[in-house]
Structure 1
Amino acid sequence: MKNKKMAYLYLIITFCAWGSLYVVGKFVMGKVPVLMISSVRYIIAGIILFFIMKHTKTKKIEKQDYKYVFLIGFIGYFIATVAQLIGVKFSNASLASLVNSVNPITIMLFAAIILKEKLTLKKIICIILAIVGVHTIIGGSNESGQVIGILISLFAVISWSLISVIVRRVTQKYDPIQITTYGIIIAAVSTLPFSIGEFIITPNIHLDWTVVLSLIYIGVVCTALAHFLWNKSLSMIEAGDCSLFYPVQPMMSVFLGWMFLGENINVNFVIGAILIIGGVVFSVIGKKEEIVKSETKE
């Protein structure tokens, strides 16, 4: 019971951190180029996680698994995350975070296709709710830029979900913190050349103390700490229980976006939020019921 309580605390911190990323990222992107943010984020997180990994007992990654580690770093942490930040830039923190809350459901789809996991009626209902929710949000956007931002965010969700299924398979063999660390280092190396080029061609970059503190926060809290606590939580309780906390992320983004960025919440946003978050919660409850029934039969 004590382990569960600690895991729940870790999860609340994790999703609050990930939720705040959308708001802090939106603020920083008004002064610093997107790829430069990603590069600094991964360099900071990579250094921190590397030292954590050094104090963790891990096994050497076999050659045939190098390709999976590369895909996790390049597509998951580089491509998907940059698309996520661009999505925030063209829409707003609340919209991008809500679209991102579809992740658990898209992961179910890829898990069914790649890992041959059973796709139940409840899971299908959740997927429909998520699709309708996203459509409602897009339909409520009057600005074409917001629609572009949401579509880019959806691309980020699909990429991240696909990689998450690969991560799930690989972490059955290796320590999650080990895979995360190597993936982030690959992302840092992939991002650095682009960020340097972006830095050279961008005329107005404002690096005041608020931007520097924000970048440090993104690297330490939103990336290194959040990934570490997420992996720690997965090692302590079931993944389905961890997924239950996903709705904390968009709710935190909505709250912080309203408080610090002055973002408005319209009717379509609220309806879309209810559908998406309702689908996620329903999927987790359905999974927990299946586990209970299975344990009862045994």
Structure 2
Amino acid sequence: MSNYNSFSLKNKMKNKKLAYLYLIITFCAWGSLYVVGKFVMGKVPVFMISSVRYIIAGIILFFIMKKMKPKKIEKQDYKYIFLIGFVGYFIATVAQLIGVKFSNASLASLVNSVNPIAIMLFAAIILKEKLTLKKVICIILAVVGVHTIIGGSNESGELIGILISLFAVISWSIVSVIVRRVTQKYDPIQITTYGIIIAAISTLPFSIGEFVITPNIQIDWTVVISLIYIGVVCTALAHFTWNKSLSMIEAGSCSLFYPIQPMMSVFLGWLFLGESININFVIGAGLIIVGVLISVIHNKDVEVDNKIQTKIQ
């Protein structure tokens, strides 16, 4: 029994390390989405960007999924697939892009870093994952951090962008918890593919409407390359690695890697878009990141306790 527990523990640790690698890839990709998306939205409307990214990602993932031949989705699970595709990949993602458009890449990405707290909260409610005192402290720090950011906004348009970004955070967090549940039953690439196809179908009518009514849409080689990058890296790859991570470890643990995203966005926003950072941004970021670090320390404590208990057994 002791050898079996030791093997099981090693296997779990190996899965966690692999999941952590997937999460780093995910949030580096999503961090770059804010900057590339901000550039493209200066030339192409929001729904057109979403439609193109999902069509590109959907085609790539569909052919990969077909080769894997996953099992058929059961009828009672159709509703979950629809919620993932429509609410998560369509509604939340479009809201995210609109939030970037009304604020800036760094600010919208920082607001999005509240996701770890929101996911922990919904995971506790829906999946019955433990919501400890440390997690509650993290939630409070995140709320104060976001309030600091909003309090530092001088323009009404920027405030609107922040509020839309917060709506995207709540929607995405709920869907992430649902993904955690269904990926225990189905292959993550299968869930990702079906969800993205639903998002592509949902976005297409709005995209066509934008194309008809929007003048001066600029399509050049930089836009084409940016859209391909968004479709392949920020959508197909990042959504798969996120869903894969959720299938391997708890939703709350996955969410702890969100700080990588704003760090990447801030760096790339400064490097390519010339965006500046004010004192409110720094204070808000500090509060949110401290909250996440407390969560990480809590997660490590749990792992150590599990190791000790296994050795005793």
Q: Do these two structures clear the TM 0.5 threshold for a shared fold by scoring above it? A: yes
Question: Which one-letter code corresponds to 1:191 in the other structure?
Answer: T
2:256 aligned with 1:230, yes or no? no
Rounded to whole Å, the distance in 2 between the matches of 1:63 and 1:292 is 41
Q: Which of 48-57 and 168-177 deviates more?
A: 48-57
**1:3/1:105 CA distance change after superposition, 3 Å:** closer
2:84 maps to 72
Number of matched pairs: 298
Do the aligned partners of 2:183 and 2:246 also contact (CA within 8 Å) in 1? no
Query: Could you tell me which residue of structure 2 aligns to residue 162 of structure 1?
Result: 174
Quick check: 1:99 aligned with 2:128?
no
Output one character per residue of 1:132-166: Cα deviation in whole Å (capped at 9) or x when no partner: 01001111111111110000000000000111111
The question of 1:81 aligning with 2:93 is answered yes
* 3-state SS in 2 of match to 1:223: helix
* Conservation of the 8 A alpha-carbon contact between 1:240 and 1:288: no
| Contact 1:243–1:284 (Cα < 8 Å) also in 2 | no
> Could you list the runs of 5+ residues in structure 1 that have no partner in the other structure?
none
* Cα distance per residue 1:173-198 (max 9 Å; x no partner): 11111111100000000000110011
Q: Alpha carbons of 1:79 and 1:235: their partners in 2 closer, same or farther (altered >3 Å)?
A: closer
Q: 25, 32, 55: which one pairs with 1:20?
A: 32
Indicate conservation of the 8 Å contact 1:14/1:230, yes or no.
yes
Q: CA RMSD in A?
A: 1.9
Identical amino acids, percent of aligned pairs:
87
* TM-superposed deviation, 1:236: 6.0
Please, which moves more after superposition, 166-175 or 249-258? 166-175
C-alpha distance in 2, partners of 1:242/1:113?
A: 17
Listed as ranges, the gaps of 5+ residues in structure 2 are 1-12
Match of residue 59 from structure 1: 71
In the alignment, does 2:253 pair up with 1:256? no
Q: Decide whether the 8 Å contact of 1:102 with 1:280 is kept in 2.
A: no
In the TM superposition, 1:182-197 aligns within 5 A as 182-197=194-209
Counterpart in the other structure of 1:271: 283
TM-score scaled by structure 2? Answer: 0.90
The one-letter code matched in structure 2 to 1:179 is I
Secondary structure of residue in 2 paired with 1:55: helix
1:38/1:12 CA distance change after superposition, 3 Å: same
Q: Tell me if structure 1 keeps the 8 A contact 2:23–2:257.
A: yes
Larger mean CA deviation between 241-250 and 140-149 belongs to: 241-250
- Secondary structure at the aligned position of 2:68 is classed as coil
The letter of the residue matching 2:207 is S
**Residues 217 and 164 of structure 1, relative CA distance in 2, 3 Å threshold:** same
**Matched residues in 1 for 2:147 and 2:284: separation?**
8
Separation (CA, whole Å) in 2 of partners of 1:240 and 1:82: 24
Q: In 1, distance between residues paired with 2:191 and 2:245?
A: 16
- Measured after TM superposition, the shift of residue 232 of structure 1 is 4.1
The residue identity in structure 2 corresponding to 1:105 is I
Shift of 1:239: 5.7
Structure 2 counterpart of 1:212: 224
CA contact (8 A) 1:22 1:253 kept: yes
Give the aligned residue type for 2:147. H
CA shift for structure 1 position 53: 1.3
Residue 180 of structure 2 contacts residue 243 of structure 2 at CA under 8 Å; is this kept in 1?
no
Q: Which of 282, 297, 301 is the matching residue for 1:285?
A: 297
Q: Which has the larger radius of gyration?
A: 2
